[in-house]
């Protein structure tokens, strides 16, 4: 009778689902790695764009006066991580009232459009870039104005934050 009870007990245990008998036959482990931080600068300093020529207010057309933006992106530790990272650039700043693809300046009805590889880098909208390119994509700045605006003869400024992030 004892043997019969043992056999019945063993059979009932084998028919129970695994959580009921406390057995675990799987284990998950891993290593989390946060992407390294990136720095965008001009040789370690602030990115300064000075339009070399005087800008004739009646000739601003969104093409003329295009100026290269000098910059480098450094992401220390990204190459040795053993991960294929992706990168996005974001231009953080206020857009001008007449063109959501241009930055606001200190002069009403004047904006600065930043171009990444020839197309507008829209403020506050991340854009994918090739992190493994031998050189970063070309950045340019070009003044734009509100159609029909009469701009004064004056100095102007604009500012923004260019961010690079790996993911």
Predicted confidence at residue 16, as pLDDT, reads 52
> pTM for the full model?
0.80
CATH topology of domain 35-166: Immunoglobulin-like (2.60.40)
d(CA 110, CA 98): 9
pLDDT at 10: 58
What are the two backbone dihedrals, phi and then psi, of residue 60, each rounded to the nearest 5 degrees? -70, 120
Q: Which residues neighbour 17 within 8 Å (Cβ) at sequence distance 6 or greater?
A: none
Task: Give the Å distances, CA to CA, from 54 to 80, 115, 146, 153.
Answer: 46, 20, 19, 10
Q: What contacts 39, CB < 8 A, 6 or more positions away?
A: 73, 74, 75, 164
pLDDT at 15: 57
Domain ranges of the chain: 35-166
pLDDT along the chain (167 residues), means of 10: 59 55 86 91 95 92 96 87 88 98 98 97 96 86 97 97 95
Beta bridge partners, 166, equal 87
Q: What is the Cα–Cα distance from 113 to 105, expressed in whole angstroms?
A: 10
- In 3-151 the beta strands, taken as DSSP E runs, fall at 39-41, 67-68, 72-74, 87-92, 95-96, 99-104, 110-116, 119-120, 127-129, 139-145
Q: Is the dihedral of CA 158, 161, 164, 167 positive or negative?
A: negative
The Cα 91–Cα 83 span in angstroms is: 25
């Amino acid at each position: 009778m004892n043997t019969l009870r043992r056999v019945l007990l063993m059979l009932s245990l084998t028919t129970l689902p695994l959580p009921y008998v406390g057995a675990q036959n799987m284990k998950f482990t891993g290593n989390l790695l946060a992407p390294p931080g990136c720095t965008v600068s001009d040789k370690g300093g602030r990115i300064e764009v000075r339009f070399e020529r005087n800008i004739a207010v009646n000739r601003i057309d969104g093409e003329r006066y295009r100026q290269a933006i000098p910059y480098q992106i450094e992401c220390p530790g990204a190459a040795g991580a053993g991960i294929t990272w992706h990168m996005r650039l974001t231009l953080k700043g206020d857009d001008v009232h007449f063109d959501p693809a241009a930055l606001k300046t200190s002069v009403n009805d004047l904006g600065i459009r930043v171009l990444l590889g020839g197309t507008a880098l829209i403020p506050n909208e991340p854009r994918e870039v090739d992190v493994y390119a031998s050189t970063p994509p070309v950045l340019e700045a070009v003044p734009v104005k509100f159609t029909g605006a009469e701009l004064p003869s004056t100095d102007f400024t604009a500012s923004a934050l260019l961010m690079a992030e790996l993911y």
